């Protein structure tokens, strides 16, 4: 995958984030979170700038950004469905929910629909285990997901 060269404007926005966070202990994660907050994802083009500022290798920045599921490599869709894939939700059928969402949305986990309408992501425990299987739809928690609830969610993100 080719990485777009960094624009001056992007570099300035990233420099401000680095400046704000670099004195923290373990600044890499807060900087990556700051970048995602600013741009909605972590562009590959920011990695060299962060690496240089923290005096670490690009591979290290890339490794951390890839390791954590929270960091997106591309902009999200207009709606974001985060389906819990942790144990309590798995034990009551989150795999079936994932399969239904994949079927109806036409995209798998970690993917965004070609029309930019929706991004489908896994998340690992939302603290809603008592209402499993659970998801966040545009930040709103939804518990006790079943086929009907999935159909409603899909209709909403497609409207
Ligand atoms: S395991 Fe899914 S909300 Fe806790």
pLDDT of residue 3: 67
Predicted confidence (pLDDT) at residue 4 exceeds the cutoff of 80:
no
Residue 88 Cα to ligand 1 middle (Å): 5
Using CA atoms, how far apart are residues 84 and 121, in angstroms rounded to an integer? 9
The answer to whether the CB of 126 is under 6 A from ligand 1 is yes
The answer to whether the CB of 136 is under 6 A from ligand 1 is no
Q: What residues contact residue 34 under an 8 Å CB cut-off, 6+ apart?
A: 17, 20, 21
pLDDT digits (tens, 9 = 90+) for 88-104: 999 999 999 999 999 99
Residue 132 Cα to ligand 1 middle (Å): 6
pLDDT of residue 111: 92
* Reduced DSSP (H G I as helix, E B as strand, rest coil) percent helix, strand, coil of the chain, to 5: 50, 15, 40
- For the chain, give me the number of helices (H) and strands (E)? 7, 5
Which of these ranges, 51-55, 98-102, 155-159, has the smallest mean pLDDT?
A: 155-159
Nearest to 17 by CA among 3, 42, 4, 2: 42
Nearest to 139 by CA among 80, 71, 91: 80
pLDDT of residue 2: 56
Using CA atoms, how far apart are residues 97 and 104, in angstroms rounded to an integer? 11
Predicted confidence (pLDDT) at residue 70 exceeds the cutoff of 90:
no
The answer to whether the CB of 92 is under 6 A from ligand 1 is no
Q: Can you give the pTM of this predicted structure?
A: 0.79
């Amino acid at each position: 995958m080719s990485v777009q060269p960094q624009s001056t404007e992007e570099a300035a926005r990233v420099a401000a984030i680095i400046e704000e966070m670099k004195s923290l202990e373990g600044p890499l994660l807060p900087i990556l979170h700051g970048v995602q907050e600013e741009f909605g994802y972590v562009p590959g083009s920011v990695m060299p700038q962060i690496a240089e500022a923290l005096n670490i290798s690009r591979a290290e920045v890339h490794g951390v950004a890839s390791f954590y599921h929270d960091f997106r490599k591309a902009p999200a869709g207009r709606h974001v469905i985060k389906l819990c894939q942790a144990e309590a939700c798995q034990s009551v059928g989150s795999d079936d929910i994932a399969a239904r969402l994949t079927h109806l949305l036409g995209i798998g986990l970690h993917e965004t629909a070609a029309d930019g309408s929706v991004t489908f992501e896994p998340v690992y425990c939302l603290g809603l285990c008592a209402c499993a299987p659970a998801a966040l739809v545009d930040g709103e928690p939804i518990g006790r997901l079943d086929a009907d609830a999935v159909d409603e969610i899909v209709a909403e993100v497609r409207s």
